Amino acid sequence: MAVDPCAAGASCDAAILATWANFYVIVGSSAGALTGLMFVVITLVAGIERLRTSSDAVSAFSTPTIVHFCVALVVAASISAPWRRLEHVAGVLGIASLYGVVYVARITISARRQSVFQPEREDWIWYMILPFVAYVLMLGSACALLWDAGPALFALAGTVVFLVLIGIHNAWDSVTYVALGQYSQSSESSGRAE
């Protein structure tokens, strides 16, 4: 027997959001853990000369990964908060998604300006285009919360998972790029020594 989320005298808006609590606990915890892991990875590779001399490349390609994880965490926290009205959470999510759109525009400009790394088509897709699409979808979901919460919450959930997946891809891409760069540098140095 299905339980009506608006029963027992609770606010219907709060009850609808409460049905998503477990999902956002999982996604928010994952985003938080992945953010921490990125900090560890960046700290471990901080001694590599390539990273110290390319703060523009780090700003364009590594920092956005942290931002995407943090936005997923903010969305999870926002949905999990005890809102009484969907308009309030929609406002917070709308602001977060507008921030994301502007942020991706800024990092796109930064990626074009940096000269250390020449992005390929796949880099443009994963670091600029897909995050932009995710934030636009998040903005649409936030607006749709005002009209039809059910589908809007599913769209928002998909968008948050999309942001986490983008972050995972980009984190792995950054780490392998640095690791392979370090490997090729050590191979060149050992080749010169012989």
Q: DSSP state, 119?
A: -
**Poorest-confidence range of 2-16, 77-91, 94-108, 115-129?**
2-16
Looking at per-residue pLDDT, the higher value among 57 and 36 belongs to 36
Question: Within 10 Å of residue 118's Cβ, how many Cβ atoms?
Answer: 7
* Alpha carbons 166 and 174: distance in angstroms, whole number: 12
pLDDT, averaged across the chain: 81
Q: How confident is the model at residue 90 (pLDDT cuts 50, 70, 90)?
A: very high
Residue 99 — very low, low, confident or very high, per pLDDT cuts 50/70/90?
very high
Q: Residue 106 to residues 95, 124, 127: CA-CA distances in angstroms?
A: 16, 13, 12
Burial label, 140 (beta-carbon count in 10 A; 0-12, 13-18, 19+): middle
**Which of 86-95, 108-117, 161-170 is predicted with the least confidence, judged by mean pLDDT?**
108-117
Question: What number is the average pLDDT over the span 13-36?
Answer: 84
pLDDT at 103: 96
The residues spanned by each domain of the chain are 13-176
Beta carbons of 83 and 89 less than 8 angstroms apart: yes
- pLDDT over 90 at 124, yes or no: yes
Cβ neighbours of residue 138 closer than 8 Å, sequence gap 6 or more: 75, 93, 96, 97, 100, 156, 159, 160, 163
The full length of the chain comes to 194
Amino acid (1-letter code) at residue 143: C
